Structure 1
Amino acid sequence: MKKNNLIVFDIDDTLTKSENQHQQSYVDAMLHFGISEINKNWKTYKNMTDSYILKKNYEANFKKDFNNSFIPEFEIKMAELFLALPKTKEISGAGKVVDFFMRETDYAICFATGSLLKPALIKLEQANINFVPNLVEASNSFYTREEIVSSAIQKAKTYFSVNKFENIISVGDGIWDLRTAKNLGIHFLGIRDKNLKDFQEENIKSHISDWTNFDFNKIQTQLEII
């Protein structure tokens, strides 16, 4: 089936129950490399990405400019620490929804995460979520969510041989996901209730608590997609 539209999935707490494991392995990796004073108030950061938060804490601790060449070494350690934690499970119904889009609709899928890449791939594998590695974009080379989502969209265009998707829906659980979608001028579906108040304050059009009662026709109507 030709893919005329696109779904861009966030990963942590959108498809996988991995936020706690992610934060623990991320913080422990920073501690391993001597970054001992860590600002864990994540919402205070301009960009909610592993690379940006690592950069800010690195510079605050070592009083020197951050170099991206450090990211691969840090990523390997974080992945090692992540693998030592309890395995990631899917958000209930997530795997079925991903399969639904791929097999039964004209929506292509890709993944855009503020995580570093290796831990992101581990989460998807452990949760048994169907994915193509080339369609996963992470924060290794980008500091902003907008750059990550834009790159994921471009990867999807290349992979599915599409010049332009008619509709693009970004799916995420964080207020930063909604703001990124707004900044890029694409549709947004919010999932889970932990940030529902924030979503509502920004006049979200479509929201679901989880994937178990997923009604795509209703969502398309709410997003005014014909």
Structure 2
Amino acid sequence: MQLVIFDIDGTLTNTYKVDEDCFKRAFALEFGIFGVHTNWSEYSYTTDSGITQEIFKEKLKRLPSDEELIRIKARFVSLLQEAYINNQDLFSEIPGSANVLAKLQLYPDWCVAIATGGWRESAKLKLQKANLEIEGIPLASANDALSREDIIKTAIIKAENLYQVEKFQKVVFIGDGVWDVKAAYQLSIAFIGIGNNILINIGATKVIQDFTNLDDFMTILQDAEIPRFSMNTILHITKRQQWQQAKNLGTYRADSLDSEGFIHCSKSTQILKVAKRFFDNQKELVLLFIDSEKVQAEIRYEPAEIGELFPHIYGELNIDAVYQVIDFEAGKDGLFELPQEVINLEL
């Protein structure tokens, strides 16, 4: 038996924009938290649970309580319901998705599951309003785990239990985001992108626009391959406060841009050397993951004192080139360790 797992927003439903708008409004109305940035790829976990934790830590300097999580979910769902009443077109299906969900369940060799970075309550509402029938289909969500990888793993386990399969011969994940390609790559499962051709540039082998041609989709599904996550990443260490200011301004300037004419960056194999040499005993540091192909300023690889070539950005850094930001500080022993996110770049 084989398993196909679908994401929801942007994959099964055209609800990405209304989801984003209602999510931001929920924080403003429920907790008075404004200025939530929506470059979701910057968050450590691109899921509702992970993003909520990070927003609370950034704005309130603490994690949300269980009661607060209940409140934000309820407010979010209420806003989605209100949005549907005002404009039902905001909850349309990706063309052919209802049909493909129904037909796939008739194929003897394929099982179906859903894995979403959204919360279960809002996910089910969006699917319902888009007229997608998921009765009998296992669903994993941000209620189950923080990371997309763990949510997908949960979907696989739920599918194994429901369909009474010890281990699926093949698992294919279908999604629309950069984080979806990365999750499939890290889990070593096949991937099909939908609607976003940029996914080809970072490792997806196939991207489709929608599900209108069922026969073509089934052929692509059968031939789906594990992606090679190949974003050309360079890294930069900075202060958390400096990065927060950059997000408000829309562009990032390091002090070295004024003093030396460029922003110092590193490759994944160089970052520990840089951290040990220049950031010893410093606190409140973050590590920027930069897609070099999106950087608008010129990048030059130039020799440093230690004899290696380092990437230097000759100009301000446009923040949309930053696809992930993580905390980066030395441990209690004063030593820096290579984060798993950096290790993954080298795989």
State the TM-score, normalizing by the size of structure 2: 0.60
- Are residue 55 (structure 1) and residue 53 (structure 2) matched? yes
Distance 1:36 1:81, change over 3 A: same
Aligned sequence identity (%) = 28
1:15-164 mapped onto 2 (5 Å cutoff) = 15-32=12-29, 33-85=31-83, 86-87=87-88, 88-132=91-135, 135-164=138-167
What CA distance in whole angstroms lies between the structure 1 residues aligned with 2:112 and 2:224?
20
Pick the aligned partner of 1:5 from 2, 7, 14: 2
Q: Give 1:191's match in structure 2, choosing from 190, 194, 197.
A: 194
Is 2:162 aligned against 1:165? no
Checking the alignment, whether the CA contact within 8 Å between 1:37 and 1:61 is kept in structure 2 is no
**1: CA distance, partners of 2:68 / 2:149:** 22
Give the stretch that moved more between structures: 127-136 or 112-121.
Answer: 127-136
| Distance in 2 of aligned mates of 1:220 and 1:133 | 23
Deviation of 1:213 (Å): 2.7
- Whether the 8 Å contact between 1:134 and 1:155 is mirrored in structure 2 is no
Partner of 2:287: none
Q: Distance in 1 between matches of 2:69 and 2:152?
A: 20
SS at match of 1:168: strand
* RMSD over aligned Cα atoms: 1.7
Paired with 2:143 and 2:32, the residues of 1 have a C-alpha distance of: 20
Give the structure with higher Rg (CA): 2
Structure 1 residue ranges (4+ consecutive) displaced by more than 6 angstroms after TM superposition = none
Closer, same or farther in 2 for the Cα pair 1:97/1:134, shift >3 Å?
closer
Aligned residue type for 2:167? K
C-alpha displacement of 1:69:
4.5
Which of 219, 222, 227 in structure 2 is aligned with 1:220? 222
Q: Which amino acid aligns with 1:211?
A: F
Partner of 1:14: 11
Q: Find the residue that maps to 1:17 and give its secondary structure.
A: coil
Q: Normalising by structure 1, what TM-score?
A: 0.90
Question: Taking structure 1 as reference, are residues 219 and 153 closer, same or farther at Cα in structure 2, changes over 3 Å only?
Answer: closer
Unmatched segments (≥5 aa) in structure 1: none
Question: CA–CA distance in 1 between the matches of 2:173 and 2:220?
Answer: 16
CA separation in 2, counterparts of 1:192 and 1:28?
Answer: 26
Structure 2 partner of 1:205: 205
Report the number of matched residues.
218
Q: 1:38 to 1:102 in 2, by over 3 A?
A: same
CA distance, structure 2, for counterparts of residue 75 and residue 223 of structure 1: 36
- Matched AA of 1:10: D
User: Greater helix share, 1 or 2?
Assistant: 1
Using the alignment, how far apart are the partners of 1:112 and 1:222 within structure 2? 18
Distance in 1 (CA, whole Å) between partners of 2:136 and 2:219 is 29
* Residue in structure 2 matched with residue 181 of structure 1 by the alignment: 184
CA distance in 2, matches of 1:183, 1:68: 30
